[in-house]
């Protein structure tokens, strides 16, 4: 199997501490933000992005130069990853999420693992961080809307947690539930959506080594807008399968109903593997716009992870299982 994490000699702890680089970078920030905003607004079908993240709070992390994913694609800039977000519990406005999300209290935080498991357990986020060693994994994220990023996550395989829970013989799916806390998440007031945000995977998808529980990115703790303190990352599926701010992981027998599949099953099916040959009912999925780039690029089958995951779907008609 290909490696999806970069040189293990470069660890999160090797990255320059914030206090050192904040001063070094301060004078560059205004210019960088202006440039980043121009690039983003040029390559997404949105109004210009005006400094979405307070610069003092989120300088670009110093990261080893020339790091790419396993296909040679450059990392998306930190400001793109943390300033252009889908997180409907806060807002439908991608550039607004980063402004609203800091109000989320991510400590204390508990994740309940239960359902059809031998060892149900409620973990404090600090138990999770202490118990499961984190790796850096560089993955492409392809949103169903047609944009994409390359993100250096920190996290650990979901399988590590599930193995500790020991799924029972009749457990066939995993259901993920996101926090629903009205006082801190203004978007929850929107009655058009079936809160809380839920998602699901088949158990073998959940156990696949590429499926990550992430608690950080770019060598830093996960920003709230990206799903702090813990979120799922399933790189071969459209981004909406990767639930943020998870509070419950439940093993179940039947395929669970999910947030998006209950709203529009014909548009956002349970599987939702990235597939350039299967158009969304309202737009083509053949190409995507990488955030920070001007031209569209071809979308790859399973988002470029075909060798690793195609065998999970042997015998299934991928054009039917949207």
Applying CB under 6 A, among 167, 216, 235, 239 the residue interacting with ligand MTE is 239
Binding of residue 87 to ligand MTE (CB under 6 A): yes
Greatest pairwise CA separation for the chain in angstroms: 58
Binding of residue 243 to ligand MTE (CB under 6 A): yes
Binding of residue 244 to ligand MTE (CB under 6 A): yes
- Give the bridge partners for 246, in sequence order: 178
**CA–CA distance from 311 to each of 171, 273, 281 (Å)?**
20, 13, 26
Query: CB of residue 178 vs ligand MTE: minimum separation in angstroms?
Result: 4
Query: CB of residue 46 vs ligand MTE: minimum separation in angstroms?
Result: 14
Which range of residues in 80-88, 110-118, 161-169, 272-280 is near ligand MTE by CB under 6 A? 80-88
Selection from 87, 244, 260 nearest residue 176 by Cα: 244
Residue 24, both tokens: 């070094």
Query: CB of residue 227 vs ligand MTE: minimum separation in angstroms?
Result: 6
Applying CB under 6 A, among 197, 218, 271, 305 the residue interacting with ligand MTE is 197
Nearer to ligand MTE, 95 or 116 (CB): 95
- Phi/psi for 163 (5° steps) reads -65, -35
Helix (H, G, I), strand (E, B) or coil at 161: helix
Binding of residue 242 to ligand MTE (CB under 6 A): yes
Nearer to ligand MTE, 128 or 222 (CB): 222
Binding of residue 139 to ligand MTE (CB under 6 A): no
Applying CB under 6 A, among 37, 58, 91, 178 the residue interacting with ligand MTE is 178
Query: CB of residue 78 vs ligand MTE: minimum separation in angstroms?
Result: 12
Report d(CA 78, CA 58) in Å as an integer.
9
Binding of residue 211 to ligand MTE (CB under 6 A): no
Report d(CA 247, CA 137) in Å as an integer.
23
Reported in sequence order, the residue ranges of the chain that DSSP labels E, i.e. its strands, are: 110-115, 121-124, 135-142, 147-157, 173-178, 198-202, 212-217, 220-221, 231-233, 246-252, 287-290, 296-298
The residue ranges that bind ligand MTE (CB under 6 A) are 85-89, 141, 143, 178, 197, 226-227, 239-240, 242-245
């Amino acid at each position: 199997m290909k490696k999806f994490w970069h040189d293990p000699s470069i660890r999160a702890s090797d990255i320059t501490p914030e206090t050192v680089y904040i001063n070094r970078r301060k004078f560059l920030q205004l210019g960088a933000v202006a440039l980043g905003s121009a690039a983003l607004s040029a390559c997404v079908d949105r109004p210009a992005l005006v400094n979405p993240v307070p610069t003092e709070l989120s300088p670009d992390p110093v990261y080893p130069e020339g790091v790419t994913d396993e296909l040679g694609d450059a990392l998306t800039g930190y400001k793109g990853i943390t300033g252009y977000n889908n997180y409907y519990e806060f807002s439908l406005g991608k550039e607004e999420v980063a402004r609203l999300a800091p109000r989320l209290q991510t400590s204390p935080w508990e994740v309940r693992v239960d359902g059809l498991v031998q060892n149900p357990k409620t973990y404090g986020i600090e138990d999770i961080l202490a118990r499961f060693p984190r790796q850096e994994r560089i993955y492409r994220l392809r949103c169903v809307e047609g944009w994409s990023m390359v993100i250096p996550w920190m996290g650990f395989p979901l399988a590590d947690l599930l193995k500790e829970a020991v799924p029972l013989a009749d457990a066939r799916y995993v259901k993920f539930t996101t926090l629903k806390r009205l006082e801190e998440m203004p978007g929850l007031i929107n009655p058009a959506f079936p809160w809380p945000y839920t998602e699901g995977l088949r158990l073998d998808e959940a156990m696949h080594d590429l499926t990550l529980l992430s608690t950080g990115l770019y060598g830093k703790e996960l920003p709230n807008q990206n799903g702090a303190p813990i979120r799922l990352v399933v790189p071969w599926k459209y981004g909406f399968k990767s639930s943020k701010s998870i509070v419950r992981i439940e093993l179940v027998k039947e395929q669970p109903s999910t947030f998006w599949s209950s709203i529009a099953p014909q548009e956002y099916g349970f599987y939702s593997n990235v597939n350039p040959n299967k158009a969304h009912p309202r737009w083509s999925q053949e190409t995507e716009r990488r955030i920070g780039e001007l031209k569209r690029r071809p979308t790859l089958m399973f988002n470029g992870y075909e060798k690793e995951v195609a065998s999970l779907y042997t015998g299934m008609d991928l054009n039917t299982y949207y």
